[in-house]
Chains A and B, each alone.
Chain A
Amino acid sequence: MTSLTWDRRKDSATRFWRGYRTHRAGLYGLAGLALIALLALAAPLIVGSDVQSVTEAPGTALEPPSAEFPLGTDQFGRSLLGLLIWGARISLLVGLLAAALSVAIGTLVGIIAGHYGGWFSTVVMRITDWFLVMPTLVLAIVLATVMSRSMWTVVLAIGVTSWPTTARLVRAQTIAVESRPYIERATALGGGHRHVMTRHVLPNVMPLVLAQTTLGISTAILTEATLAFLGLGDPTVVSWGGMLQDAREAGAVSSGHWWYLAPPGIAIALVALAFTLCGRAVESVLNPKLGVGR
């Protein structure tokens, strides 16, 4: 890689950051994400992995918040604060992986459909449109039901059901990029399909893909929580959705134990909101005409 390309990339990154900095909501989102990511990464140091252990739980069942357990305990006597911090790991991990999978499929389908065109593109986009009208949540639930219970099932179920919007956007962008003269030049100089797609189209659709990923993560985290709440998540790990399911099963609703129920939901909402704010800021920096506003 020549230093010229590096300089250009550094320039465009600086320009991007200058634009992003003007979006106050995006900055709040970014700060929130940094904090949550730090907590999740440091979880083994703060609470330790034995926080999940049912047999060596430190407290008694369903204690209200106290000095020892700031958020109270669950039905097994585990500290809810500890579980909440530990749960951030799985929620973030599943959210990131599922969004990455979905965006990867969407980008691949979009670039290929946009690049080749013709009847092939028509068929691929028909399939995409069909997926677009599918009720995503129902499809994800059905997939998670018929496959074995594990984190990877959840990632797969979310990933393979939520790619069509990305595919549509990437295809449109691919067609726009390929109408520019430098693509013709690249082809004339002997660049094959693969070269054009990976060296010219892909770098140009990357910003769009980045915005899609950020927005997709918040949806993926919400879907993960939903699946876990329905009992379709991995039963061996603690996640925020799973904590809500536990709370409901422990009768936290009818006995009015709001301190058990409130924190996981607030955590889900905050993370989803942070990713949405970042995604919207990224989107409006890259495409100011969108009218997303500040």
Chain B
Amino acid sequence: MTTASTPAHVARADKARATDGASRTGSSLGYLRHAAGKLGGALVSLLAVLVTSFFLFRIIPGDPVKAMTHGVPTSAEQLATLRRQFGLDLPLWQQFTDYCAKALSGDLGTSFQFRAPVGDLIAEKLPATLLLTGVAVVIYSALGLWLGTRSAWRHGGLGDRLNTGIALTLWSVPSFWLGLLLIIVFSVGMGPIPGLFPTGGMESGTGETGFAYVLDVAHHLVLPVVTLVAVGYAQTLLVMRSSLLDEMGGDYLTTARAKGLRDDAVRRRHAVPNALLPTVTMIFINLGHVAAGSILVETVFSWPGLGGLFYQALSVPDLPLVQGLFVVFAGAMILMNLIADLLYPLLDPRVGR
């Protein structure tokens, strides 16, 4: 995956976050306090996102109207009209309060390219992204957990080295390149392989209904999901592996073995549930990341979702739309982090006593 950090750091950052969350909670009252604190933090983060997106687009490019009309010949009159239309003739602080008030009531401005409210455009494309990323995250989390467990349990062996090696190699591959290559091999067809899957889009548009439509969408879903899973599962695998390796030194595992439990039962009932905790946090954080990470995959497969919309907005550049999507992507990350923070004390039995 082409998003930010490498698996090893994420693992550590998440563990740090997890223990941080755990230490503060003591009872159900403590949990409420913890939840309120996290909720407050998330709101502050969201406000900070609004501030950033405001200043990023209004201060850095110099004149936003010039940036909006990038490369298009515009008369001074038209510029003035645009400026009035976007409220840019007002003082900066007033623009800012207007912008925040509007954004909080769900109004993200008007797209330049589509001449439609940004909020409506995003709402229209959201389901496709949720479908793609939802399916991908479920598959790669399951795959990562399974392979990570196997790797750690037999660490140092051939299977472990092969597993980690393949995962790291796929993790180093740019997702858009893998997508393009899959299209060449499986959609366009190469040599003896016929074109098995559609080259892009979400449906054939031949008017199927009911079950046939579901099958059609699933058919379109295969290659984008394979791309996202291949590039993304390494992170879950490595976190699960290192987290299980940490647990494997634990005395309680020796006790479990001394009780006469079989190796399989020790792993499934004792080691894995404990090792899962940091990984669960990471899966939620991944959900937030993947929405943004799907920009490339959606672009390559012409998937009609938010990432594809972002790419279209970039090429203009349609600043209100880019700005709106930035707020949505960042908001999704904040929301997923909040869910992870709230869930963690509930999942960890050591918390809440």
Within 8 A of A (CB), among B264-302: 288-289, 291-293, 295-296, 299
A219 touches B322 (CB 8 A): no
Tell which of A134, A268, A273 touches B168, judged by Cβ atoms closer than 8 Å.
A273
B245 touches A261 (CB 8 A): no
B326 touches A138 (CB 8 A): yes
A162 contacts B by Cβ under 8 Å: yes
Given known A138-B330, A273-B169, contact A229–B3 (CB-CB < 8 A): no
Q: Inside 8 A of B61's CB, which chain A residues have their CB?
A: 146-147
Tell which of A145, A147, A169, A270 touches B322, judged by Cβ atoms closer than 8 Å.
A145
A123 to chain B, nearest CB (A): 12
A277 contacts B by Cβ under 8 Å: yes
A132 touches B326 (CB 8 A): no
| 15 pairs, A vs B, C-beta closer than 8 Å | A136-B3, A137-B3, A138-B310, A141-B295, A162-B5, A218-B6, A225-B174, A253-B199, A254-B199, A258-B181, A258-B184, A276-B171, A283-B8, A290-B242, A293-B241
Q: Inside 8 A of A279's CB, which chain B residues have their CB?
A: 6
Q: Inside 8 A of B333's CB, which chain A residues have their CB?
A: 133-135
Within 8 A of B (CB), among A239-291: 241, 244, 247-248, 253-256, 258, 261-262, 264-265, 268-270, 272-273, 276-277, 279-280, 283, 290-291
B156 touches A293 (CB 8 A): yes
Q: Which residues of B contact A (CB under 8 A)?
A: 2-6, 8-10, 12-13, 16, 45, 48-49, 56-57, 60-61, 67, 155-156, 160-161, 164-165, 168-169, 171-174, 176-178, 180-181, 183-185, 188-190, 199, 241-242, 245-246, 288-289, 291-293, 295-296, 299, 310-311, 314-315, 317, 322, 325-326, 329-330, 332-334, 337
- If over half of A's interface residues share one DSSP class (helix, strand or loop), that class is named, otherwise mixed; here it is helix
Q: In the complex, which residue of chain A has the Cβ closest to the Cβ of B200? A: A253
> What's the Cα separation between A229 and B173 when bound, in Å?
14
Given known A134-B330, A145-B322, A218-B6, contact A291–B246 (CB-CB < 8 A): yes
Q: Inside 8 A of A193's CB, which chain B residues have their CB?
A: none
Q: Inside 8 A of A273's CB, which chain B residues have their CB?
A: 168-169, 172
A231 contacts B by Cβ under 8 Å: yes
> What's the Cα separation between A185 and B73 when bound, in Å?
68
Q: In the complex, which residue of chain B has the Cβ closest to the Cβ of A258? A: B184
A146 touches B337 (CB 8 A): no
A54 contacts B by Cβ under 8 Å: no
Q: Inside 8 A of A219's CB, which chain B residues have their CB?
A: 4-6
B311 touches A261 (CB 8 A): no
Given known A244-B180, A258-B181, A290-B8, contact A218–B160 (CB-CB < 8 A): no
Known: A133-B334, A258-B190. 17 other contacts (CB 8 A): A135-B291, A135-B329, A135-B332, A142-B326, A169-B9, A169-B12, A222-B174, A223-B2, A226-B174, A229-B176, A230-B314, A244-B180, A254-B188, A256-B190, A261-B180, A269-B172, A270-B172
A168 contacts B by Cβ under 8 Å: yes
Q: Inside 8 A of A165's CB, which chain B residues have their CB?
A: 4-5, 9-10, 13
A32 to chain B, nearest CB (A): 11
Q: In the complex, which residue of chain B has the Cβ closest to the Cβ of A147? A: B60
B26 to chain A, nearest CB (A): 22
Q: Inside 8 A of A10's CB, which chain B residues have their CB?
A: none
A81 contacts B by Cβ under 8 Å: no
A294 contacts B by Cβ under 8 Å: yes
> What's the Cα separation between A139 and B292 when bound, in Å?
10
Q: In the complex, which residue of chain A has the Cβ closest to the Cβ of B338? A: A133
Q: Inside 8 A of B13's CB, which chain A residues have their CB?
A: 132, 165, 168
Given known A229-B296, A273-B169, A292-B8, contact A135–B16 (CB-CB < 8 A): no
A256 touches B322 (CB 8 A): no
B35 to chain A, nearest CB (A): 17
The 8 closest A-B pairs by CB, nearest first: A265-B177, A136-B4, A135-B292, A272-B172, A291-B245, A273-B172, A165-B9, A269-B173
> What's the Cα separation between A130 and B46 when bound, in Å?
9
Q: Inside 8 A of A133's CB, which chain B residues have their CB?
A: 45, 288, 330, 333-334, 337
Tell which of B16, B49, B160, B322 touches A293, judged by Cβ atoms closer than 8 Å.
B160
Given known A146-B67, A293-B155, contact A130–B45 (CB-CB < 8 A): yes
Q: Inside 8 A of A168's CB, which chain B residues have their CB?
A: 13, 16
> What's the Cα separation between A230 and B176 when bound, in Å?
10
Q: Inside 8 A of B174's CB, which chain A residues have their CB?
A: 222, 225-226, 229, 241, 244, 265, 268-269
A256 touches B172 (CB 8 A): no
Tell which of A141, A244, A255, A268 touches B314, judged by Cβ atoms closer than 8 Å.
A141
Tell which of B56, B181, B188 touches A146, judged by Cβ atoms closer than 8 Å.
B56
A215 contacts B by Cβ under 8 Å: yes
B12 touches A293 (CB 8 A): no
Q: In the complex, which residue of chain B has the Cβ closest to the Cβ of A162? A: B4
> What's the Cα separation between A291 and B278 when bound, in Å?
15
Given known A146-B61, A256-B184, A256-B190, contact A277–B3 (CB-CB < 8 A): no
> What's the Cα separation between A149 and B228 when bound, in Å?
29
Given known A135-B333, A222-B174, A268-B174, contact A142–B292 (CB-CB < 8 A): no
B5 to chain A, nearest CB (A): 5
Given known A132-B13, A277-B168, A280-B8, contact A142–B177 (CB-CB < 8 A): no
